[in-house]
């Protein structure tokens, strides 16, 4: 890798050729605010909050999409930059409902964080505000386009990562918004409810319904686990408040999924605390299920296997098992003398 030397906030940084200013800054441990940037997405350069000052440049370039060059002198917090960021935040605030008191995103909202950082308490501009109806007719998430800051990340994740292409920009100018085709509710679009858009939204415009009013960001402990629904092995974070699971999201460290999830891993966690859930084995006695110990249940199964003999034994395994599980399962049956093995995904 060719090295490129730049100076960021007076500090010499040895970065790699092809890096953006933002990446070089991150390498040097310098934090630059971003709304629309995500390393998994193509550089959009939409929100302009990440602008920095570059010596001898005409404008303030967006650091997330501007490549570095040898000898570049960058200031990420100059007076000009701070003024520009304040103006940007002020413009966003002028068109944003300030209901942080009940907003699900409060505490992990980037708009809130940056307004705090730059001391923007209210907007310099009063005027028209957007007025879109809340969209909540689907079972999984709410879309409140009045809170949307049009960073475009949901559109990108839906097109570039999921491939569903359910939503896109609509209209122009101040009327711009993100919408499924023809302004239909999202359930009438190709949306598959993966919910990755809700994970990536930097503000409270897209929020999962199941988690609503179940906990604030700072009360939630994210516990990494593997999604139990299929053999892919996606890493997800269970959002735990106290001893209760109140949500889930993709975990980017997951080698299999890099944070991407499907509808089940994202929204299918509510069985965990379901009163209907089986937590102990049941044995049917006199036509009625009765709780039993594991010892008792397993012995019963073993006895029945013996009674049936190899000829009378067949196995059906589950798509929720990994390849390795399935392999062992068929091995087990064959050891027991039966070749009658099948799998639910073949149905």
- Binding to other proteins (CB under 8 A) within 114-143 occurs at 124-125, 127-128
- Total residues interacting with ligand FES, rule: CB under 6 A: 12
Contact 292, 283 (CB under 8 A): yes
Q: Which of 74, 111, 149, 157 binds other proteins (CB under 8 A)?
A: 149
Closest to ligand SF4 by CB, 107 or 281: 107
Q: Does 245 bind ligand SF4 (CB under 6 A)?
A: no
**Of 22-30, 156-164, 326-334, 335-343: span binding ligand SF4 (CB under 6 A):** 156-164
Min. distance of Cβ 266 from ligand FES in angstroms? 25
For residue 224, CA distances in Å to 241, 256, 259, 266, 267 come to 14, 14, 11, 13, 15
Instruction: Please tell me whether residue 36 binds ligand FES under the rule CB under 6 A.
Output: yes
Q: Is 156 in the site for ligand FES (CB under 6 A)?
A: no
Q: Name the minimum Å distance from CB 141 to ligand FES.
A: 23
Residue from 52, 64, 205, 238 binding ligand FES (CB under 6 A): 64
Nearer to ligand FES, 34 or 189 (CB): 34
In the complex, the smallest distance separating the C-beta of residue 20 from ligand SF4, rounded to whole angstroms, is: 18
| 267 contributes a contact to ligand SF4 by CB under 6 A | no
Q: Could you tell me the smallest distance in angstroms from the CB atom of residue 2 to ligand SF4?
A: 31
How many Cα atoms are found within 13 Å in the side-chain-facing hemisphere of 343? 15
Task: Give yes or no for residue 169 binding other proteins (CB under 8 A).
Answer: yes
**In the set 62, 89, 203, 220, which binds ligand FES (CB under 6 A)?**
62
Distance CA 343, CA 319 (A): 7
Beta-bridge partners for 44: none
Q: Which of 32, 92, 103, 245 binds other proteins (CB under 8 A)?
A: 92
Question: If contact means CB under 5 to 8 A according to the sort of partner, which of ligand SF4, other proteins, ligand FES, none does residue 128 touch?
Answer: other proteins
With CB cut-offs between 5 and 8 Å by kind, which of ligand FES, other proteins, ligand SF4, none does residue 194 bind? ligand SF4
The footprint of ligand SF4 (CB under 6 A) covers 148-154, 157-158, 162, 164, 166-167, 178, 186, 191-197, 200-203, 205-206
The footprint of ligand FES (CB under 6 A) covers 34-37, 45-50, 62, 64
């Amino acid at each position: 890798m060719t090295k490129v030397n730049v100076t960021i906030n007076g500090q010499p940084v040895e970065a790699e050729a092809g890096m953006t200013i933002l990446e070089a800054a991150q390498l040097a441990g310098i934090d630059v605010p971003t709304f629309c940037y995500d390393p998994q997405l193509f550089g959009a350069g939409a929100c302009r909050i990440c602008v920095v000052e570059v010596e001898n440049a005409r404008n303030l370039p967006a650091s997330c999409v501007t490549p570095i060059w040898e000898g570049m002198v960058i200031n990420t917090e100059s007076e000009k930059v701070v003024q520009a960021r304040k103006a940007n935040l002020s413009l966003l605030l002028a068109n944003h409902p300030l209901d942080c008191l009940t907003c699900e995103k409060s505490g992990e909202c980037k708009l809130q964080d940056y307004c705090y950082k730059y001391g923007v308490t209210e907007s310099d501009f009063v005027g028209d505000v957007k007025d879109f109806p809340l969209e909540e007719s689907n079972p999984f998430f709410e879309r409140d386009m009045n809170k949307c800051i049009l960073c475009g990340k949901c559109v990108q994740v839906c097109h570039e990562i999921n491939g569903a292409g359910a939503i896109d920009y609509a209209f122009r100018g101040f009327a711009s918004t993100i919408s499924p085709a023809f302004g239909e509710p999202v359930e009438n679009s190709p949306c598959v409810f993966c919910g990755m858009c809700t994970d990536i939204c930097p503000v409270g415009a897209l929020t999962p319904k199941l988690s609503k009013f179940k906990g604030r960001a700072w009360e939630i402990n994210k516990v990494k686990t593997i999604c139990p629904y299929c053999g892919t092995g996606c890493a997800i974070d269970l959002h735990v408040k106290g001893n209760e699971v109140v949500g889930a999201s993709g975990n980017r460290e997951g080698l299999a999924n890099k944070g991407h999830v499907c509808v089940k891993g994202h929204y299918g966690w509510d069985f965990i605390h379901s009163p209907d859930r089986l937590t102990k084995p049941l044995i049917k006695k006199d036509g009625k299920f009765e709780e039993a110990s594991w010892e008792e249940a397993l012995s019963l199964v073993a006895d029945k296997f013996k009674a049936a003999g190899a000829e009378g034994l067949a196995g059906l395994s589950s798509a929720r098992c990994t390849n390795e599980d399935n392999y062992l399962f068929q091995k087990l049956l064959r050891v027991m003398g039966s070749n009658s093995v099948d799998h639910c995904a073949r149905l």
